[in-house]
Amino acid sequence: MGSCCGGKESKKGFCPFSLFLFAATGAAFAYHKLQQKKSRDDESSSGAAATKPQVVFVLGGPGAGKGTQCELITKRQSGWAHLSAGDLLRAERNSGSKLAELINSKIAAGQIVPAEITVGLLEKAMEDITAKDAAVTKFLIDGFPRSEGNVTVWKAQMSNKADVQFVLFLSCPEDTMTSRLLERAKTS
């Protein structure tokens, strides 16, 4: 028999912990699907259409593959759009707007850009995308939230405007992230 669960031998030919993880993942997926069906049933019985977009926060270290995975999902699944909090902030910094001046002054002073600004940029981007393409109802937001304060601001500004479905955390070995970042730096 092979070893599993921290090197302990399994006499049954499988790892009980792996089986537990598989069952827990299946249960979480089934619960999510049940909630979606219940939501659709509630909407059809009330005659109301879903108006709030669905959001999945995608988190992980730099170079973990957040942007890559988000792009793959949006290419393979219709109705999804990818937003990067960092890309939105960089684009706004270069826009020459009053908001750009504020963002640049915060960064120049070594301060964090207020979460209200980041959430505002995310909200505007979501509105712009859905205005252009009504089929987009789901958003992958990468690199946000980064703190409990970010979550508080998101809830205050967006709880009536978007439904967060879950958080996807991409775990990646540090040496892999480092090599990816070094490769990225060669082409940037």
CATH number at residue 176: 3.40.50.300
Q: What pLDDT score does 34 carry?
A: 66
Judge whether 26 lies within some domain.
Answer: no
Q: pLDDT-based confidence at 2, cuts 50/70/90?
A: very low
Q: What pLDDT score does 82 carry?
A: 98
Judge whether 76 lies within some domain.
Answer: yes
Cα 51–Cα 166–Cα 18 angle in degrees, nearest 5: 145
DSSP, residue by residue, 84-109: EHHHHHHHHHTS-SHHHHHHHHHHHT
Judge whether 25 lies within some domain.
Answer: no
Domains identified in the chain, total number: 1
Please report, as a single letter, which amino acid is at residue 25. Answer: T
* Full domain range(s) for residue 123: 53-187
Judge whether 47 lies within some domain.
Answer: no
pLDDT digits (tens, 9 = 90+) for 34-70: 666 666 666 555 544 558 999 999 999 999 999 999 9
In 38-132 the beta strands, taken as DSSP E runs, fall at 54-60, 80-84
* Whole-prediction pTM: 0.70
- What gap in Å lies between CA 36 and CA 42, rounded to an integer? 10
